[in-house]
Amino acid sequence: MQRPLLQRLLNGVLACALALGTATAQAQPSEPQPSYINGLRGQANGAITGVVDLSRAWRRALEYDHNYQAAISEQAAAQTEEAMGRAGLLPQIQAGYSRSQVKGDAVSFNALGQSNSSELSYTSTNAYIQLQQPIVNFGRYAGYQRGIALANEGTAIFAARRQATALRLTEVYLNVLLAHDNLGLQRSLVEVLEARATALEAHLKQFEGTVTAVQETQARLAVARADMIDAADQLQVAERELAAMLGGPVARLSALQAEHFPLTGLQPAGLAQWLELARTNNAEVRAARQAVAVAETEVDQATSRYLPTLDLIVSVSKADSENLSTLSQRSNTFMAGLQANIPIFTGGYNTANVSRTRADQKRLQHELTATLERTQAEVMRQYTNVLGGAERIRAFEAAVESGQQALHATEQSFRAGVLSNLDVLRAQDTLYRARFDLVRARLEYLLARLSLASAAGTLDDAGFDSISQTYLGRVITLQEKQEPSNGPR
């Protein structure tokens, strides 16, 4: 009469276990993922159509940059740690079946000591299903907490990877702009020197110039052509790096506006506010904090090995001729009980393991402090770069204006015979160097603003949109094969 009751009890336990597992799985609905998370995209075929500004480049990098896609996969792997930790708290159900063919001889003795031998040949089968549910297990609970901490650490690391991708894209994009403008300046300088060399040669034929002036100009022209070739090579490399991040070559790129370059103030304006933002929001600092949290759960997990455990075990088995004593007998057994395990001695493993986890926790705590100090220094560096960059831009703007006036005055003095041709060449070099320094200072200013936002943990899509709308707009065409000029030699 009791067997049906026990069977119903086992069926109820199994139903509760399955319902618990199903409810746990349903408790975590899958959130809709952006398009770039649903799978890796193939490389785009041909050049990217339309004008690409920094904002559009950022969104394409999120879809096509392989380093960022690797970070997405890394985060997805980390998110499974919570489910793996939770599995240790849920019932573990396993089943087994065995079937054996037994052959041999059985020898028995009677009361007079006489042996009686008989041949054995039978089939033995055994099937069972067992449920084990932890009731008191601090190690399993610590493992669940560790899984949560690992998942949170994965999220923080992904945020750090995203910020690194943002800065890498910014540097690559601005390098293309710098290389393109540098090539334009070098080509313009070559054209000016070619025209000057032609004019000096014409004057020499009319006995109005000197051979020295012609040779000085031709020598400077040869150097300018070499610099133009180097600038073209740098532009090709920069374009290739940008194409690798965006999934294809860019035909038209949005560059700095020719005249409009506002030097707006920072928000917030004070360094103390930026330092506080970095302490709270910096992605690397948050990842380091989560690493410390993981280490704390590992200490708890190691300490739990000193504590006893208590499990509920329920099993049902069915056997046929399981052994000689039950030959030609069938048995159905049901077992329900509690199993307690008390650790007594492990050869010193638990003590060493606890010491290891505590030492690792201290190490990560020191690394957190070092990361925080490094972040604070980076915020201060980029903050001063923004403020100092604005002053440098104003200084180079004045240098360009003064250089233009100085070149004009030097050319007039040369025509009047007061200054030499070498003075004109030096004035030209000074002007073109000032123009290049101005372009570089403006691009470094933009990089400093975005780097400051990244160090403070506030760089997002809106930051790229703001830069594109405020500073970019002049369209340049890439993918042109640059041929060195063949002027007079």
pLDDT digits (tens, 9 = 90+) for 281-295: 999 999 999 999 999
Judge whether residue 69 has pLDDT over 50.
yes
Judge whether residue 323 has pLDDT over 80.
no
Could you tell me what percent of the chain has a pLDDT over 70?
Answer: 86
Side chain identity at residue 464, one-letter code? F
pLDDT at 43: 44
User: How far apart are alpha carbons 303 and 139 in whole angstroms?
Assistant: 8
How is residue 87 written in tokens? 């599995």
Number of Cβ within 10 Å of residue 201's Cβ equals 17
Least confident segment among 143-152, 242-251, 317-326, 464-473: 317-326
pLDDT at 243: 94
Quick one: pLDDT band at residue 11, thresholds 50, 70, 90? low
Judge whether residue 39 has pLDDT over 80.
no
pLDDT: is 379 or 1 the higher one? 379
* Residue range 198-215, pLDDT digits in tens: 888 887 787 777 888 889
Least confident segment among 103-112, 269-278, 376-385: 103-112
How is residue 405 written in tokens? 């006036």
* Residue range 133-185, pLDDT digits in tens: 999 999 999 999 999 999 999 999 999 999 999 999 999 999 999 999 999 99
Which residues face 340 on adjacent strands?
310
pLDDT at 234: 95
pLDDT: is 7 or 60 the higher one? 60
Cα 487 to Cα 85, 160, 197, 222, 421: the distances in Å are 73, 51, 9, 10, 19
CB 57 within 8 A of CB 173: yes
DSSP string, 267-289: SS-SHHHHHHHHHHH-HHHHHHH
CB 447 within 8 A of CB 389: no
Residue 341 host element (H or E)? strand 330-341
Cα 204 to Cα 38, 209, 214, 338, 428: the distances in Å are 71, 4, 8, 110, 21
Q: Is the dihedral of CA 237, 464, 390, 376 positive or negative?
A: negative
Judge whether residue 349 has pLDDT over 50.
yes
Secondary structure letter of residue 259 according to DSSP: S
pLDDT at 203: 78
How is residue 390 written in tokens? 């604005």
Polymer length in residues for the chain: 489
What does pTM read for this prediction? 0.81
pLDDT at 328: 65
Q: If phi over 0 gives left and psi between -120 and 50 gives alpha, with beta otherwise, what is residue 455?
A: alpha
DSSP string, 181-212: HHHHHHHHHHHHHHHHHHHHHHHHHTTSS-HH
* Residue range 415-465, pLDDT digits in tens: 888 888 899 999 999 999 999 999 999 999 999 999 999 999 999 999 999
Secondary structure letter of residue 44 according to DSSP: P
Tokens 């785009």 found at: 44
Q: Which residues of 428-438 are buried (b: 16+ CB within 10 A; e: fewer)?
A: bbbbbbbbbbb
User: How far apart are alpha carbons 400 and 410 in whole angstroms?
Assistant: 15
Q: 115-136 and 330-341 as β-strands: parallel, antiparallel, unpaired?
A: unpaired
| Mean pLDDT estimate for the chain | 86
CB 410 within 8 A of CB 127: no
Helix (H, G, I), strand (E, B) or coil at 96: strand
Quick one: pLDDT band at residue 325, thresholds 50, 70, 90? low
User: How far apart are alpha carbons 401 and 114 in whole angstroms?
Assistant: 125
pLDDT at 42: 40
Please name the residues in contact with 242: beta carbons below 8 A apart, sequence gap of 6 or more: 57, 172, 173, 175, 176, 250
pLDDT: is 29 or 411 the higher one? 411
DSSP string, 437-453: HHHHHHHHHHHHHHHHH
Could you tell me what percent of the chain has a pLDDT over 90?
Answer: 68
Please name the residues in contact with 226: beta carbons below 8 A apart, sequence gap of 6 or more: none
Please name the residues in contact with 20: beta carbons below 8 A apart, sequence gap of 6 or more: 90, 91
pLDDT at 208: 72
For 47, list phi and psi in degrees, rounded to 5: -75, 155
Please name the residues in contact with 256: beta carbons below 8 A apart, sequence gap of 6 or more: 177, 181, 439, 442, 443, 471, 472, 474
Q: How far is CA 364 from the centre of its chain?
A: 20
Among 92, 136, 134, residue whose Cα is nearest residue 308: 136
User: How far apart are alpha carbons 287 and 455 in whole angstroms?
Assistant: 13
